[in-house]
Structure 1
């Protein structure tokens, strides 16, 4: 059975409404046909699918199941190509240089239509706001009067459209003039000594750099400033160093400043791409450390569709590079080039983890079958201190005098607060002085207040027990998933032993690897079924859901017992490796089938609107009441 994440051999096309991706995808059609991404390929010494080939591309993942979505994985070079096409288009429309068009698009969030509208309305203002042009000084009152007099002497009044065209023409001329301003200059004239206003260096060999604002600084200060912005702030829109100046340095200027700093230059280019991806709701950057791939998923771009599907995608890369771990320790040492050429030494070659994440929410894992909104509710509930407060509420009461929290540790209802020495009844919380006489009144609360108080406490305890039921099972599968690395290592050793004790080759013992991969994937599914089950309202649909959940869990545990406790089995069947191979293969196929049934039925339920919740979820009907409640 093929993996759920195996890419289709057929090519898919992605058409964006704003034509952002059309052209460059069509140009690479031949390239997509010559490269096939298959999750079942055998691994070699370097099992990480990073590559230095700029044309590397993963074909479109076509939708074949109800729980899958169509998406396309893009490398950084392909995203840069899409950016360049947008820049060239705007540059041709406005008649400005590409560097200016880049700053204009970046200022408008890469929204080309909005940029064109604003630029046609007031090009000078847009150029100033985007940091391309220095604001023109306000003309004096005398020059203003002279211009008015001159324009009013027998000349035809300019229409609004002609004024706009004139303004656009003058702006283009001004933009071209400013963009052609010499940004790099050297103090070669011996009669003029340049002193850097930042470091006050006045060496004769000093090189002065300036933007269109003509605020000069030495190359060393510019280099240190750019590196600081990139490393410390993760900034790709770097403005002039002069205080109050809003001019933005073009990318070419930053490239020239960082020409001797390869790592920082690569990091800057990655930040530029990240800014472009973040502005497009149809694109998302891979969240795995060290990975520079991007995923395009137009079908999951809107929030409204997230109530009917779970957009789990893969960027196509595998593994976490050593440079990524170094980056976590020292962000300034990030290197994409080393990320593409080195592999981690902390994982085995067998544990070649695919970069899978959710396109619709920040959860960096496959949280199917539960939708993003419910998954976030569950994560928030597990991460905050609400359950600690719930336990305190269920097992303690507050002193009515000083509000100290008191836990009852005996059978007597006569309580004395250790803090204020107030004596009260644990049942009705009234003064104990009223309970030692004939007017003992605790029985009155059985009819009204006391019953409500005890019922509230019982409901709180029932809610806590219900939460712990789901949480313990969720946490158990999460812990098992985290321990999968050890299981991969043990399985690799078993695979080696099987080759020694039998005539099977390395290819023929791959059934062990596939079984472990299926086990890990199904445990991930089971983990999130408990999060979904906690919020599902009672009814026939929930009972069917729990039946599928039970069948999947039983299949998972059977396969796990055979794999993790397989040492004894393997000793018994050394002479019958073929039988062991058949048993593991059969259980692997069955657990994959149960996992597919679980995901498929749940996905169809979302599309048909079958699921009811006991909490409010956007895009669904009002929550239904459920026994025990949800805190």
Structure 2
């Protein structure tokens, strides 16, 4: 039986690349532009960087503005063919000037091999060029421009590498690293994996328009491709950035938010949860919801924040109580997921081994993958629920602005969202409880069949509610905001990237 986090579909053409593979991909793109518009390598790289390594944009500019317009817009200096660096290098010795005066150090240089000329035609001695290259690298420049004042020409990569290698070999290596970094820093399709310590991989998305996807590196780290933060859908990037900063900054001041026990509403005894299910019972017999600490009855519903219930508090107290409401429930689902991953999953694995080895049960019923699928759905739902509270905190507070014409619709949208959130919570708790029960080693065929049907049905219901929450946020709530926001399109977890071999 496979691990529940290893079955994601690769729908965006994700690949994980090491530095050597990235360099190959970069050179392929550069060579395409060199052949397309007949320019040298350093100018092709500059053109790609200007257009964020998007070939479609270069084709579009070339079609609309022509070759010269394409270069002019990117401020790229391309000399006539007879004055290019390559043409000058091919010139016979008797046509080269015998002595050149460097306009930086004002030394006369007699050997042609001791001077270098860039595409713009400006010529200086190699010693001055070398120091210029070294100083530019110290400033972190990925484009090293000509020394002539106000000259926009970009220095030839091969010349930079050759001259630095003679006097500053470490700087030459640093230049190669900067050239490679330019492929990632300016490329909408490639991002470094944010793992720490770094795994050495970058993730490449075939379709750069899908920057809001969430990806999982082969090293196991999942992150948002748009902002490089840990995966956080269905909470949009701007909201998650605020939530994460607030959550980290106030955790020490609000320690009581993340207490490890809840008081029984009947006898006030502190109750500690054991496992992922939030339906807990006190030794006195009282059943309570661990998420809110309230009594469990047929009318129990704790996912809605009761604004009226705190109307008598001053504004600061109300803000703190409101944050506590959402933060507490965020923590509840994060902690439940941890328990279901570290405690429930090993129990399910043991049950699966017993079930698959039970020869008295028909082979079709012995197959135990349904437990892994249900457990995967449960873990995904916990993430959706936790992040939905981060989203709700900002969506229904004063932190974001809505269109004036839509303000009247926000309370109705809030009720609909909270209803979907509550339904997902209820079914996630049921699924957690059923999985915890079915993890026990009971091997009667009738019981296994019943458990399989019940668990599979609950998993489908949970998955449906997750998708409904995503749809509600993307289609109903985010369009109400003045600031454009979007979320990753899939509620069942990040897409797995595959290692690219070259």
Number of the residue aligned with 2:464: 593
Given that residues 74 and 293 in structure 1 are in contact (C-alpha distance below 8 angstroms), is that contact kept between their aligned partners in structure 2?
A: yes
Please point out which of 192, 202, 220 is paired with 1:292. 202
In 2, Cα distance between equivalents of 1:516 and 1:251: 58
In 2, Cα distance between equivalents of 1:521 and 1:470: 19
| Stretch of structure 1 that moved more, 372-381 or 470-479 | 372-381
Asked if residue 168 in structure 1 is aligned to residue 79 in structure 2, the reply is: yes
Q: Please show how residues 201-350 of structure 1 align to structure 2 within 5 Å.
A: 214-215=126-127, 237=142, 249-250=157-158, 274-281=181-188, 284-287=191-194, 290=199, 291-299=201-209, 311-314=212-215, 319-320=218-219
C-alpha displacement of 1:550 = 0.8
In 2, Cα distance between equivalents of 1:533 and 1:110: 37
Number of the residue aligned with 2:489: none
- What TM-score do you get using the length of structure 1 for normalisation? 0.45
Number of the residue aligned with 1:102: 45
Kindly report the root-mean-square deviation, in angstroms, between the aligned alpha carbons of the 2 structures.
5.2
Given that residues 99 and 251 in structure 1 are in contact (C-alpha distance below 8 angstroms), is that contact kept between their aligned partners in structure 2?
A: no
Q: Deviations over 1:125-162 (max 9, x none)?
A: 956xxxxxxxxxxxxxxxxxxxxxxxxxxxxxxxxxxx
In 2, Cα distance between equivalents of 1:122 and 1:556: 55
Q: Deviations over 1:389-430 (max 9, x none)?
A: 999xxxxxxxxxxxxxxxxxxxxxxxxxxxxxxxxxxxxxxx
Alignment CA distance shift 1:576-1:119 (3 Å): closer
Given that residues 519 and 559 in structure 1 are in contact (C-alpha distance below 8 angstroms), is that contact kept between their aligned partners in structure 2?
A: yes
Number of the residue aligned with 1:520: 379
* SS class of match (2:314): helix
In 1, Cα distance between equivalents of 2:312 and 2:238: 28
Please point out which of 436, 455, 462 is paired with 2:318. 462
Given that residues 474 and 531 in structure 1 are in contact (C-alpha distance below 8 angstroms), is that contact kept between their aligned partners in structure 2?
A: yes
Given that residues 390 and 464 in structure 1 are in contact (C-alpha distance below 8 angstroms), is that contact kept between their aligned partners in structure 2?
A: no
Given that residues 481 and 523 in structure 1 are in contact (C-alpha distance below 8 angstroms), is that contact kept between their aligned partners in structure 2?
A: yes
In 1, Cα distance between equivalents of 2:323 and 2:483: 22
* SS class of match (2:355): helix
Number of the residue aligned with 1:359: 225
Number of the residue aligned with 2:33: 89
Asked if residue 561 in structure 1 is aligned to residue 433 in structure 2, the reply is: yes
Given that residues 295 and 313 in structure 1 are in contact (C-alpha distance below 8 angstroms), is that contact kept between their aligned partners in structure 2?
A: no
C-alpha displacement of 1:552 = 0.3
Tell me the matched-pair count.
Answer: 353
C-alpha displacement of 1:478 = 1.9
Asked if residue 479 in structure 1 is aligned to residue 335 in structure 2, the reply is: yes
Alignment CA distance shift 1:372-1:95 (3 Å): closer
Alignment CA distance shift 1:94-1:533 (3 Å): same
Number of the residue aligned with 1:539: 411
* SS class of match (1:388): coil
Asked if residue 581 in structure 1 is aligned to residue 446 in structure 2, the reply is: no
Of structures 1 and 2, the larger Rg is shown by 1
Q: Deviations over 1:479-535 (max 9, x none)?
A: 333445424333322211222345458981111111111111111100111112223
Alignment CA distance shift 1:499-1:72 (3 Å): closer
Q: Which runs of 5+ in 1 are unaligned?
A: 1-41, 50-57, 62-70, 128-166, 182-208, 217-224, 241-245, 258-263, 302-310, 321-352, 392-454, 621-631
C-alpha displacement of 1:571 = 3.6
In 2, Cα distance between equivalents of 1:482 and 1:180: 68
